[in-house]
Amino acid sequence: MTSSTQKPEEVRSKRRKELEADDTEGLQLSSTDTADPGLSDGLQSLYKPESLEQLLNEMNKEIKSLLAKYAHILRQRAAMDASYVHELDGILKEARTLENHLKQKKESLKQRFAMIANTLQS
């Protein structure tokens, strides 16, 4: 029977059997890899409690250093944001002052034009 005439169920079961065979081969390989007595000294020393503790201490110091740098950057950005807010408050205050000044000028001009119009009418 050719693969084009096989039923889909037969194809799926055949594929499952192939996958299971691959899985068991992979498990056998991985178990032989870990049982290899020729592990390098570097890997064996990694499993010693003293070197593991030293590695953890070094990693802890590095993490604390990175967190301190991150906190410093966050403080700088917060200070910069605060200065931007302060600067924007100043700009808004100045804009309001200019707006009030222009409103007063407009009112003053209205009054002057009203006086000129009254003078011309009389």
* Average pLDDT per 10 consecutive residues for the chain, totaling 122 residues: 58 69 53 49 62 91 97 97 96 97 97 93 85
pLDDT score, position 81 = 96
d(CA 88, CA 105): 25
pLDDT score, position 29 = 45
- Residue 50 is inside which H or E element, if any? helix 49-121
pLDDT score, position 117 = 93
Q: What are phi and psi of 97, to 5 degrees?
A: -60, -45
pLDDT score, position 32 = 45
CB 18 within 8 A of CB 11: no
Angle, CA 107 vertex, CA 112 and CA 99 arms, to 5°: 140
pLDDT score, position 116 = 94
